[in-house]
Amino acid sequence: MRTSSPNDFDLFVIGGGSGGVRAARMAAARGARVALAESGALGGTCVNVGCIPKKLYSYAAGYAEAFEEAEGYGWHLAEAPTFNWRHLKAQRAKEIGRLNEVYLNLLNGPGVRVLRGHARFVDNAHTIEVNGERHTAQHVIVATGGRPFVPEFPGREHALVSDAMFDLEPFPKRLVVAGGGYIACEFASIFNGLGAQVTQLQRRAHVLTGFDEDLRHFVAAEMVKTGVDIRFNVQVSSIRRDGAELVLMLDRGQDLRADAVLFATGRVPNTEGLGLDAAGVQLDEKGAIRVDAQYRSSVPTVYALGDVSTRLQLTPVALAEAMVVVDALFPDPKRRAGPRQPPDYDFVPTAVFTHPNIATCGYTERAARVRFGDDKITVYCTEFKSLRHTLSGRSERTFMKLLVENDSDRVVGLHMVGADAGEIVQGFAVAMQAGATKAHFDRTIGIHPTSAEEFVTMREPSVG
């Protein structure tokens, strides 16, 4: 075994996903000697089997709705449009391949040494082995992300995880989706839009645990309108193959037949096989790396960010965390504002790309009442058919909700179900981060005619 000289690198990043690549390239750009190890494709879950391909497929699904709606606007499609799944997959693969190259160039540009292989700590918190070669580093960032979790049950081997959905062959005419979270709802919407008959099974009485209650009810009703068969309070007991079909037994005793079954039942951190024991890095009860407010693990020179640590599993959060660590380790003298501080986790905006989309920023109504006091919150809600659907023939409705903390008048929660919700809420998230009050919202002139203007024209609090 060859061991290179001590302190080969100022920073060694394990994992080439969103957070890892950001940290490595920014540190290298500031003159640090940086290595990054990745055993899979560069870009991690987000680029390869997550956000990016998911959004492309969501766009693909959206065309089915657009074709239907076009008739109401005077368009006549001479023939029924047909969908070519193989073409979509090939297009996606081409774009993801391009992004992999972009990521490699982002690392090569500032001089990051990219090591293609599995990395693990050996002996101590400064020595990392990749492909039989040992490297030493002053600081290490672990950014290895997470992977899908599937519970144990008979026939578990027949369950697919989200990674496998992008290249599925053939296209499943009947898809069962187990789970009610982000991934389950998004894939149920996507495959429904692309023409599959989708049944979604959620073990609780509602989808999207943790989101605002009104929003959860509203989006489920809208998804059902689009054709997703959502069933609540039900779980899969077993799956068996019967010829070309899969037969699912449900805990209520019924059975269901499907061509494919997706389990989107959460994700777990990738902390196995990294030698974290050797480094002395402690994990929490879920197997995630325990970090402090500055993303330091129990070993002060080892940091963890993104899905492998204990915070939110969202790409932009991993990017923000990466910048905090880089600023702390390799300060940018030109940055007048000083080192970046951790993001405000209470006001992280997020979207779920269901059809229609969900987006949200700040507290849910329940969390706001707990945090500020039950009688300290004023709720504003509106629900309407958007202008687009007056002619489209679609019965889709839009929902918006604002939560205002009475003492400060600050808008502490903003929730939306409707077209382009992610695009709309991103802008409002800036205002909320800046501490915008309801009075600021009221003084803001709407852009007419848009759905977004409803957020600045809600005058009367909701009753009950």
Which of these ranges, 77-85, 96-104, 203-211, 296-304, lies near ligand NDP under the rule CB under 6 A?
203-211
135 - beta bridge partners? 128
The least distance separating ligand NDP from the CB of residue 317, rounded to whole angstroms, comes to 9
Q: Cβ 267 to ligand NDP, closest distance in Å?
A: 4
| C-beta separation of 409 from 441 below 8 A | no
Q: Can you tell me the distance from the alpha carbon of 284 to that of 37, in angstroms, rounded to the nearest whole number?
A: 24
Of 299 and 351, the one with the shorter C-beta distance to ligand NDP is 351
Contacts of 434 (CB under 8 A, 6+ apart): none
Q: How far is CA 15 from CA 23, 42, 242, 378, in A?
A: 10, 9, 40, 44
**Mask: binding to ligand NDP, 216-235, rule CB under 6 A, as x and -?**
-------------------x
CB of 186 to ligand NDP, least distance (A): 6
Q: Which residues inside 246-275 make contact with ligand NDP, applying CB under 6 A? A: 264-267
Which contacts of 452-460 are long-range, i.e. CB under 8 A and separated by 24 or more positions? 452/424, 452/427, 454/382, 454/384, 454/398, 454/400, 455/400, 455/402, 455/414, 455/416, 455/424, 455/428, 458/380, 458/381, 458/382, 458/400, 458/402, 460/380
**Binding to ligand NDP by residue 388, rule CB under 6 A?**
no
Nearer to ligand NDP, 72 or 316 (CB): 316
Per rule CB under 6 A, count of chain residues that contact ligand NDP: 24
* 415 is known as an active-site residue: no
Which of 76, 139, 415, 448 is an active site residue?
448
Among 204, 240, 366, 385, binds ligand NDP (CB under 6 A): 204
In the bound state with ligand NDP, the residue whose beta carbon lies nearer, of 91 and 233, is: 233
Q: 294-353: which residues touch ligand NDP (CB under 6 A)?
A: 313-314, 350-353
CA nearest neighbour of 329 among 104, 18, 26: 26
Q: How far is the CB of 97 from ligand NDP (least distance, A)?
A: 22
Residues in region 164-193 near ligand NDP by CB under 6 A: 178-184, 186
The yes or no reply on residue 23 touching ligand NDP (CB under 6 A) is: no
Per the CB < 8 A criterion, the answer to whether 231 and 200 are in contact is: yes
**Rounded to an integer, what distance in angstroms lies between the CA atom of residue 222 and that of residue 230?**
11
* CB nearer to ligand NDP: pick between 156 and 385: 156
Cα separation, 195 vs 172, whole angstroms: 9
Q: How far is the CB of 427 from ligand NDP (least distance, A)?
A: 17
In the numeric block, the tokens 């007419």 are attached to: 448
Q: Which is nearer to ligand NDP, 18 or 202 (CB)?
A: 202
Q: Please choose, out of 196-204, 213-221, 239-247, 364-372, the segment that lies near ligand NDP by the rule CB under 6 A.
A: 196-204
Site map for ligand NDP, 345-374, x if CB under 6 A? -----xxxx---------------------
**Does residue 151 interact with ligand NDP by CB under 6 A?**
yes
Taking the complex as a whole, how short is the minimal distance between the CB of residue 316 and ligand NDP, in angstroms?
A: 9
Which residue's C-beta sits nearest to ligand NDP?
A: 181
- Taking CB under 6 A as the binding criterion, the range among 59-67, 68-76, 198-206, 214-222 that sits at the site for ligand NDP is 198-206
**For ligand NDP, the closer CB: 35 or 419:** 419
Q: Site map for ligand NDP, 71-100, x if CB under 6 A? A: ------------------------------
- Give the phi and the psi of residue 362 in degrees, each rounded to 5: 90, -155
Look up residue 334 and give its two tokens.
């030109």
> Shortest CA distance to 35 belongs to which of 127, 173, 98?
127
User: Which among 446, 358, 426, 372 is positioned nearest to 404, based on CA atoms?
Assistant: 372
What's the CA gap between 179 and 189, in Å, rounded? 13
Placement of tokens 């909701």 in the chain: 462
Q: How far apart are CA 248 and CA 13, in angstroms?
A: 42
For ligand NDP, give the closer residue by CB, 68 or 251: 251
**Half-sphere exposure of residue 460, counting CA atoms within 13 Å on the CB side?**
4
Asked if residue 254 lies in contact with residue 136, where contact means CB atoms within 8 angstroms, the answer is no
In the complex, the smallest distance separating the C-beta of residue 192 from ligand NDP, rounded to whole angstroms, is 16
Rounded alpha-carbon distances, angstroms, from residue 212 to 200, 207, 215, 421: 20, 11, 5, 15
Nearer to ligand NDP (CB atom), residue 10 or residue 212: 212
| Of 33, 203, 231, 340, the one binding ligand NDP by CB under 6 A | 203
8 A C-beta contact, residue 363 and residue 413: yes
- Which residue number, 317 or 400, has a Cβ lying nearer to ligand NDP? 317
CB of 307 to ligand NDP, least distance (A): 7
User: For the stretch 152-186, what's the b/e string if a residue is b when 16 or more beta carbons lie within 10 angstroms of its beta carbon?
Assistant: ebebeebbbbbeebbebeebbebbbbbbbbbbbbb
Q: Which residues participate in catalysis according to the annotation?
A: 448
Question: In the complex, which residues of this chain contact ligand NDP (CB under 6 A)?
Answer: 151, 178-184, 186, 202-204, 209, 235, 264-267, 313-314, 350-353
